[in-house]
Amino acid sequence: MKAINLTITGVVQGVGFRFSTLQLARKFNVTGFVANRLDGSVYIEAQGNSEDIEKFSAAIKQNPSPFAKIKRVVIKNQLTQDFSSFTIK
């Protein structure tokens, strides 16, 4: 099991980014959550097997929402948690 968190900056709120992230999480069997932050960024905690997490993070970097404009993606490893699904907060 691998767990990461991602912070995405740019034009990523109000453009369907969280919903697109939810779809990717389901596609790659990833659990966790995605949430908007007050500073305008989007924060994601994701866990799954290593291959699925790699595919998920690569897809996020490719910009899952056609209306978003990603400026930066910061990915950090983290401890695994007990997520049973992927949710939008």
Q: What pLDDT, in 10s, does the model give residues 62-78?
A: 988 889 999 999 999 99
For residue 25, give both structure tokens: 């999480």
In the CATH hierarchy, which top-level class contains the domain 2-88? Answer: alpha beta
Q: What ranges do the domains of the chain cover?
A: 2-88
- Predicted TM-score (pTM) of the model is 0.94
Q: What average pLDDT does the structure give for the chain?
A: 95
Pick the catalytic residue from 5, 18, 37, 77. Answer: 18
State yes or no: is 49 an active-site residue: no
State yes or no: is 72 an active-site residue: no
Pick the catalytic residue from 5, 26, 29, 36. Answer: 36
Q: What angle do CA 69, 70, 71 make, to 5 degrees?
A: 115
